[in-house]
Amino acid sequence: MRRCHRFFRVGVSSALLAACAGTTTQLAPVAPKEVAEEEMAQRRHVLLEIEKAQRRLDDLGFPLLVSAAPLCEKRSAARLGFSVANVRLYENRWAEAASSALGLSDTLSVRTVAVGSPAAAAGLQPGDLVVGINGDPAPIGKGAVGTATKLFSPQPTAPLKLTMRRRGEALEAVLHPVVACKFEMLVVAEGDINAYADGDRVIMPWAMMRFANDDELGGVLGHEIAHNAMGHIDARKKNAFLGALFGALLDIAAATQGTNTGGRNTANFMAAAARAFSQDFEREADYVGMYVLARAGRPLETVPLFWRHFAQINPRAISYASTHPTTAERFVRLRSAAAEIERKRAGGLELLPEMKKPN
């Protein structure tokens, strides 16, 4: 009987498939080998474009991290302005693509050198192979990037000495670090036209890198750096914890009365508390971000225009606010911040945001 049921299901499925509408043109066969080759070509293209975007992000962002150092307080550190990679950062066919497209091997390779950074001043170039760090052999293979990154975190007054190979020639470089916010900046392949700060990093989806010009992208970077510098992510986590705690007390009280809420109050109050002050955090990040840009000598007058550009792809945000203010309000506030900064420049005042007076 069981076999009959199975054959019946197979027969019904076949009948349904036969009844479904299909294509009407004669499609040419595709060779699996050609598809596999194209997969590899696209992987190489993605890696090359992401690396190009990362270099642009570092060039724009490093001066902002330096300019924002006074705002970061304990979140600042000695920075050198370059990054390294090797093939072991990738897996499977992505490793094959990284080897052929980026020329990566087990040896550490310089990938980005930010304009105006200590690394640029010392003459580092993308593609240089790092073979020695402070007189010791550089790590190679799996885990080498993480180990090297720790070695590249000197004290503010301690120079870093690198031994490199460039097209077969041995080179020495001495890097003198500068103090900057210690946030990492990272381009990621996936994501929409947005940007994120998580307290330690600024994460920029590839879509945003393609959408924004340099002036607009500088404004986005300043905003996200300000989120981290002002401790907004930690504040949101604290608010969420307090909301969850209050909700848990309600759930416990309900349980003593014989009602199982399934943790509903905990989840709801945690979400509501996490959103508390969300719009104000965004307003503050916009405001402080303008000072980050001004301290780095970036142009301010074009920054508000980003929100007119953004409104073209999200017209609803012109007048609708949820976790973020409207694009119209953000434009006006940024223009006001730019005017405030220009007044301070004219008066020879230090370019620091105005802070609330303590009660």
> Which neighbouring-strand residues pair with 166?
169
Report the pLDDT averaged over residues 81-102: 96
**Whether the Cβ atoms of residue 101 and residue 73 lie closer than 8 Å to each other:** no
What does each C-alpha distance from 92 to 47, 139, 153 come to in angstroms?
14, 22, 30
Report the pLDDT averaged over residues 35-60: 97
Report the pLDDT averaged over residues 281-297: 96
Classify residue 84 as exposed, middle or buried by CB count within 10 Å of its CB (0-12, 13-18, 19+): buried
Q: How confident is the model at residue 171 (pLDDT cuts 50, 70, 90)?
A: very high
Amino acid 260: pLDDT: 83
**Whether the Cβ atoms of residue 291 and residue 285 lie closer than 8 Å to each other:** no
Amino acid 330: pLDDT: 96
Amino acid 6: pLDDT: 58
Backbone φ and ψ for 337, nearest 5 degrees, come out as -65, -40
Q: How confident is the model at residue 262 (pLDDT cuts 50, 70, 90)?
A: confident
> Which neighbouring-strand residues pair with 172?
163
Amino acid 114: pLDDT: 97
Cα dihedral 316, 320, 321, 326 sign? positive
Report the pLDDT averaged over residues 303-312: 96
Q: How confident is the model at residue 161 (pLDDT cuts 50, 70, 90)?
A: very high
- Of 326 and 17, the one with more pLDDT: 326
Amino acid 190: pLDDT: 92
Q: How confident is the model at residue 157 (pLDDT cuts 50, 70, 90)?
A: confident
CA distance 72 to 228: 8
Amino acid 358: pLDDT: 73
Cα 150 to chain centroid, rounded: 20
Report the pLDDT averaged over residues 274-303: 90
323 has a pLDDT exceeding 60: yes
What is the domain partition of the chain in residue ranges?
Answer: 36-181, 185-346
**Whether the Cβ atoms of residue 197 and residue 224 lie closer than 8 Å to each other:** yes
36-181 belongs to which CATH class? mainly beta
**Whether the Cβ atoms of residue 179 and residue 77 lie closer than 8 Å to each other:** yes
**Whether the Cβ atoms of residue 288 and residue 353 lie closer than 8 Å to each other:** yes
60 has a pLDDT exceeding 90: yes
Q: For 231-262, b where at least 16 C-beta lie within 10 A, e where not — what string?
A: bbbeebeebbeebbebbbeebeeeeeeeeebe
- Chain segment 213-229, per-residue pLDDT in tens: 999 999 999 999 999 99
